[in-house]
Amino acid sequence: MCADFANIKVELQNLERAHVDVFHMDVMDGNFVPNMALGLEDYQTVRKLSSVPMDVHLMVQDPRRFIHMFYNAGADIIYIHPEADQVPTSTLLEIKELGMHPGIAINPGTSIESIKELLPLVDYVLVMTVNPGFAGQKFLDFVIPKIKRLADQKDKDSFKLMVDGAISPSKIEQLSNLGVDGFIVGTSSLFGKNKSYKDIVSELKGE
């Protein structure tokens, strides 16, 4: 969402040279969240131009409708919002059966208690630290206790803990120390800076 899509081929080449781990693609339907962004053709374009693993963050109502669509488009990881799916257990199992990694995305107002039964079914848990739908928001500090609790749970249920939303370099340092495994970075850390992606990513990884 934060990349320059008018110059997407060069953007992808520069990000690959910077050794980013995953391309994170936000798909929004204007229903589950109050915005629309990144459709199937955008996804297919990025997949065609790059060999970097790709996830898809389905910020959509009834995400099961789109699982096969993004499987065919080359997704490696699919995140769904449990509250947007009538039977999230079935959707997560279908993602895994297709050979992809299932993940759940947890909004700031979503409690661990409401999704704890899903944790053994997923490979990734993505904690939103902003309300989903728009880039450029402020980090919501009240989510940090939830991140700590999930970090304590991740080894038991064998999932990787990811965080998305206003992720600055200082937040990466703070949350890494709490046990977060990976970060979705945008304008707070990576895009629109006066440094190369390679230099920025190297600094963020502590290389």
| pLDDT tens sequence across 103-151 | 999 999 999 999 999 999 999 999 999 998 777 789 999 999 999 999 9
Catalytic, out of 55, 85, 164, 181: 164
Average pLDDT over residues 27-56: 94
* Catalytic residue check, 21: no
Distance between CA atoms of 121 and 52, rounded to whole angstroms?
A: 25
Average pLDDT over residues 78-88: 97
pLDDT tens digits along 148-164: 999 999 999 999 999 99
Average pLDDT over residues 3-30: 96
> Mean pLDDT over all residues of the chain?
96
* Catalytic residue check, 62: no
User: Residue with structure tokens 């895009």?
Assistant: 191
Predicted pLDDT at 133:
72
205, amino acid identity: K
Distance between CA atoms of 207 and 204, rounded to whole angstroms?
A: 8
Distance between CA atoms of 185 and 204, rounded to whole angstroms?
A: 10
Contact 79, 103 (CB under 8 A): yes
Contact 189, 197 (CB under 8 A): no
Using alpha carbons, select from 98, 103, 112, 108 the residue that is nearest to residue 141: 108
Q: Which domains does the chain have, with CATH numbers?
A: 5-199 (3.20.20.70)
Catalytic, out of 21, 26, 62, 199: 26
